[in-house]
Structure 1
Amino acid sequence: MNPIKSFFIFLSFLLFFSFPLSNSLAISIPEENEVAKKFMTMIQKQQKILNDPIANHMIRQVGNHILSFLPPQPFKYSFYIVNDDVFNAFAGPGAHIFAYRGLITSLDSIDELAGIIGHEIAHAASRHVSESIDRSKFISIGSLAGMLAGAIIGSQSGSDSDAGATLMKGSMAIGQTAMLAFTRENETEADEKGIMFLKRSCFSPEGLQSGLMKIRALDFRGTEGIPDYVKTHPGTASRIAHVETILSDYIPPENKADCDTDFRFNMVKYRLLGLYAEIKPTFNTLNTQLKDNPSGTDAAAIHYGLGLVYARKSMREQAIFHLKKALSINIFDPMILVELGRIYLMNGEPQKALNTLKGIESEPVMGVMAKFHQAAAHLELRNLSTAKDLFNNVLNQAPETYPKAYYHLANILSLEKKKGLSHYYLGLYYAEINNNKTAIIHLNKALEHLKDKDDIKKAKDRLHQLKKEFSKNREKEQH
Structure 2
Amino acid sequence: MAALLIVLAPCQAWAMFGSITVADEKEMGKKFDNAIRAQMSFVDDPEVVSYVKGVVDRVAATLPPQPWTIQSAVVGQGSMNAFAIPGGYIYIFTGLILGVENEDELAAVISHELAHVTERHVAKRMDQMRFINIASIAGVLAGALIGANGGGTSTNAIGQAVATGAMAGAQSAFLMYTRENERDADEVGIVYLMKSGYNPDAMPKTFEIMQKQHWFMSGSDNVPTYLSTHPGLSERVAYLRDRIRRMPAEVVAREYNRDKFLRIQTLVRARMSGADTALAYYNSKPKTEMLCLDYAGKGIALDRLKRMSQAEHEFETALACGDNDPLVLREAGIFYFNKGDFAKAGPYLQKATIMNPRDAMSLFFVARLMAERKDYKSAISTMERVVREVPEDSEVRFHLGRIYGESGDLFEAHLQLTYAALYGRDKKNMQFHMDKTKALAATETQKKRLAQLQKAAGERFDKGAQGEKRSP
Q: TM-score, normalised by structure 1?
A: 0.82
Whether contact under 8 Å (2:295, 2:315) holds in the other structure is yes
1:253 to 247, 250, 254: 250
CA separation of 1:142 and 1:470: change in aligned 2, threshold 3 A:
closer
Q: What's the counterpart of residue 433 of structure 1?
A: 424
Instruction: Name the SS for the 2:74 alignment partner.
Output: strand
2 CA distance for matches of 1:465 and 1:337? 36
1 CA distance for matches of 2:376 and 2:128? 58
Q: What's the counterpart of residue 200 of structure 1?
A: 195
Q: What's the counterpart of residue 274 of structure 2?
A: 278
Q: How far off is 1:454 after superposition? A: 3.8
1:451-477 Cα offsets, whole Å, 9 max, x none, are 545435644774687589779799989
Give the root-mean-square deviation of aligned CA atoms. 3.6
Q: Do residues 244 (structure 1) and 241 (structure 2) align? A: yes
Q: What's the counterpart of residue 346 of structure 2?
A: 354
CA separation of 1:143 and 1:354: change in aligned 2, threshold 3 A:
same
Per mean C-alpha deviation after superposition, the further-off stretch among 48-57 and 151-160 is: 151-160
Q: What's the counterpart of residue 365 of structure 2?
A: 373
Whether contact under 8 Å (2:108, 2:189) holds in the other structure is yes
Q: Do residues 287 (structure 1) and 277 (structure 2) align? A: no
1:182-229 Cα offsets, whole Å, 9 max, x none, are 322221222122222223332111111111011111125875999986
Q: Do residues 164 (structure 1) and 185 (structure 2) align? A: no
Q: What's the counterpart of residue 319 of structure 1?
A: 311
1:282-320 Cα offsets, whole Å, 9 max, x none, are 22222212xxx2122x63343232222122223344334
Q: How far off is 1:374 after superposition? A: 0.3
Q: Which runs of 4+ in 1 moved over 6 A?
A: 224-229, 254-259, 467-477
Whether contact under 8 Å (1:87, 1:219) holds in the other structure is no
Q: What's the counterpart of residue 67 of structure 2?
A: 74
Q: What's the counterpart of residue 307 of structure 1?
A: 299
1:17-51 Cα offsets, whole Å, 9 max, x none, are xxxxxxxx772212211111211122223353322
Q: Which amino acid in the other structure matches residue 183 of structure 2?
A: T
Sequence identity, in percent?
Answer: 27
Q: Which amino acid in the other structure matches residue 144 of structure 2?
A: A
1:387-422 Cα offsets, whole Å, 9 max, x none, are 122122322332213x33333333334434444544
1:226-245 Cα offsets, whole Å, 9 max, x none, are 99865231111211222222
1:152-199 Cα offsets, whole Å, 9 max, x none, are 233324544343334322545998434x23322221222122222223
Instruction: Name the SS for the 1:81 alignment partner.
Output: strand
Q: What's the counterpart of residue 28 of structure 2?
A: 35
1 CA distance for matches of 2:309 and 2:300? 11
1:134 to 127, 151, 157: 127
CA separation of 1:140 and 1:213: change in aligned 2, threshold 3 A:
same
1 CA distance for matches of 2:232 and 2:35? 31
Q: Which amino acid in the other structure matches residue 82 of structure 2?
A: A
2 CA distance for matches of 1:113 and 1:365? 26
Q: What's the counterpart of residue 122 of structure 1?
A: 115
Instruction: Name the SS for the 1:84 alignment partner.
Output: coil
Q: What's the counterpart of residue 267 of structure 1?
A: 263
1:357-414 Cα offsets, whole Å, 9 max, x none, are 224435667432221110111122222222122122322332213x333333333344
Q: Which amino acid in the other structure matches residue 238 of structure 1?
A: E
Q: Do residues 455 (structure 1) and 451 (structure 2) align? A: no
Instruction: Name the SS for the 1:103 alignment partner.
Output: helix
CA separation of 1:275 and 1:137: change in aligned 2, threshold 3 A:
farther
CA separation of 1:135 and 1:146: change in aligned 2, threshold 3 A:
farther
Q: Do residues 191 (structure 1) and 186 (structure 2) align? A: yes
Whether contact under 8 Å (2:70, 2:90) holds in the other structure is yes
Whether contact under 8 Å (1:267, 1:304) holds in the other structure is no
Whether contact under 8 Å (2:271, 2:301) holds in the other structure is yes
Whether contact under 8 Å (1:49, 1:80) holds in the other structure is yes
CA separation of 1:300 and 1:107: change in aligned 2, threshold 3 A:
farther
The size of the alignment, in residue pairs, is 452
Whether contact under 8 Å (1:394, 1:405) holds in the other structure is yes
2 CA distance for matches of 1:246 and 1:365? 43
Which blocks of at least 5 consecutive residues in structure 2 are unaligned? 7-17
Aligned ranges for residues 133-152 of structure 1 at < 5 Å? 133-136=126-129, 138-152=131-145
2 CA distance for matches of 1:399 and 1:254? 39
Whether contact under 8 Å (1:91, 1:129) holds in the other structure is no
Instruction: Name the SS for the 2:72 alignment partner.
Output: strand
- Which protein, 1 or 2, shows the higher relative CO under an 8 Å CA cutoff with sep ≥ 6? 2
1:102 to 72, 86, 95: 95
CA separation of 1:427 and 1:288: change in aligned 2, threshold 3 A:
same
CA separation of 1:117 and 1:137: change in aligned 2, threshold 3 A:
farther
Q: How far off is 1:121 after superposition? A: 1.9
CA separation of 1:79 and 1:222: change in aligned 2, threshold 3 A:
closer
Q: What's the counterpart of residue 20 of structure 1?
A: none
Per mean C-alpha deviation after superposition, the further-off stretch among 460-469 and 232-241 is: 460-469
Q: Which amino acid in the other structure matches residue 13 of structure 1?
A: A
1:47-86 Cα offsets, whole Å, 9 max, x none, are 5332221122222222222233333233322222221111
Per mean C-alpha deviation after superposition, the further-off stretch among 454-463 and 149-158 is: 454-463
CA separation of 1:258 and 1:78: change in aligned 2, threshold 3 A:
farther
1 CA distance for matches of 2:392 and 2:142? 20
Q: How far off is 1:252 after superposition? A: 3.6
